[in-house]
Copies of this chain bind each other. A is one copy, B any other.
Amino acid sequence: MTISKTNRPASIATFERVESQVRSYSRSFPKMFDKAVGATIYDIEGRAYTDFLAGCSTLNYGHNDPDLKAALVDYISADGIAHGLDMFTDAKEGFLSTFDRLILKPRKMDYRVQMTGPTGANAVEAAMKLARKVTGRNTIIAFTNGFHGVTLGALAATGNGKHRGGAGTPLSGVTRAAFDGYYGPDIDTAQLLDRQLSDPSGGIDAPAAILVETVQGEGGLNAASAPWLRKIEAIARKHGALFIIDDIQAGCGRTGGFFSFEGMGLSPDIITLAKSLSGMGLPMAVTLMRPQYDVWKPAEHNGTFRGNNHAFVTAQAALEKFWADDAFEREVAAKADDLGSRLQAIADRYDLTVMGRGMMRGLKVGTGQLAASICRTCFANGLIIETSGSHDEVVKILAPLTISNKQLNDGLDILEDAFDAALGAHRIAAE
């Protein structure tokens, strides 16, 4: 049997006719894509685009990394198990032992790994359920502008109003606290939270957990400071709550270390990972928990695809290629410095704010309209880039971590030109 492309001239009309209107990114990038290598995506007419979106940080190692690809093709060709429920498989063992050896052990982290359903939302749901089971409490504290997924449990923790509105039903079980810096530089939001939790009539029930992203990828690239995160962890401990870091977007090297919180003196009770974990964009997610909190009964949280062995294969390959020593980490740090400098230059020119940290950066431009216009210009010039934030007012740069310096800078040139076109023109118009 062959699946001949000639039989079906691929057409965007198919999507308009058959797919639900819920689709979104295709509205910003209305081309049909078919191939991708490293930091480059190609549309079916052969045009190349530099990818500063990288699957929203799912493709930290770029598209189709040759070693990951080879490992996967070898595995498939040898009739490796694709789908294994949660049975013991060679591929799963490979991932688990490698993750333990290269990630957990060197960082002196003692965690059990739960293979959840292969989506970030599922890992978050597992984390929230587990925290409630462990503590016998209901309330999860989550933060302004946080994003944790759109299934009903995770959605309650997500701040975004559009996503929340999709529930069609009230969301409960989550109390919202203000993220680091939310009320400006003069107000320590950790202190506000502690004040209220310490007050028996503060009206927040004793929390099961505090759930936080270190950098809010969807919420505008707000980066929490290490001191603030340590205070949040201390507040969790003080009030008998588990401390959960959702590292789905910021983890897997995006901010430098494998975990986004390395070197900050934090010891989360539960950690969620997904997105770049499989290394090649394949669906995979895990929830890490301190051993004493592994109180699940067998199958209590289950799911058909929690044994995506293809993903285990590429995840193991990614760990071995990028995390066996600190070379990659140092390379990313250097690249992040360059990126920061270039963004700062643009920010200085137009009095903007650079958001985020590591290779998870953005420029806050004030309005969603302006940000969208800049992104459109970029796309017209071969750069795929998206916005973030409450008002989509942050132009977000999530280039693959493996991008060459040349391609990174070429992409930033396109970006800079788009800023100049939008804001230079704007200034002229205003003068």
Contacts and interface: CB of A to CB of B under 8 A. Distances in A.
Interface string A24-37: 11110111111111
A315 B410 CA distance: 37
Contacts of A33: 81, 84, 87-90
Interface in A343-365: none
A1 B176 contact: no
A187 interface: yes
A303 B159 contact: no
A8 interface: yes
Contact of A176 (B17, B175, B206): B175
A82 interface: yes
Given A22-B296, A170-B172, 15 more contacts: A15-B88, A15-B93, A18-B97, A22-B294, A23-B298, A35-B81, A83-B281, A121-B303, A138-B169, A143-B203, A150-B303, A151-B154, A165-B300, A175-B175, A176-B203
A75 B304 CA distance: 24
A88 B12 contact: yes
B300 A114 contact: no
A92 to B, nearest CB: 8
A17 B301 CA distance: 19
Contact of A22 (B27, B274, B301): B301
Given A22-B114, A88-B31, A167-B129, A304 B56 contact: yes
A63 interface: yes
Number of copies: 4
Interface string A156-182: 101111111111111111011010001
Contacts of A202: 144-145, 159, 161, 176, 390
B85 A56 contact: yes
A431 interface: no
Q: Which of A59, A77, A146, A304 has the most chain B CB atoms closer than 10 A to its own CB?
A: A304
A201 interface: yes
A333 to B, nearest CB: 22
Contacts of A94: 3, 5, 8, 10
B201 A145 contact: yes
A166 B301 contact: yes
Interface in A170-221: 170-173, 175-176, 178, 182-183, 187, 191-192, 195-196, 199-206, 208, 219-220
Nearest to A34: B90
A83 B59 contact: yes
A21 interface: yes
Contacts of A133: 166, 168
Interface string A280-307: 1111000101000010111111111100
Contacts of A151: 117, 121-122, 125, 151-154
A335 interface: no
A71 B133 CA distance: 44
Contacts of A149: 303
Given A144-B199, A317-B3, A64 B79 contact: yes
B83 A282 contact: yes
Contact of A117 (B17, B31, B73, B119): B119
B22 A203 contact: no
Contacts of A294: 20-22
Given A78-B35, A169-B170, A283-B308, A299 B183 contact: no
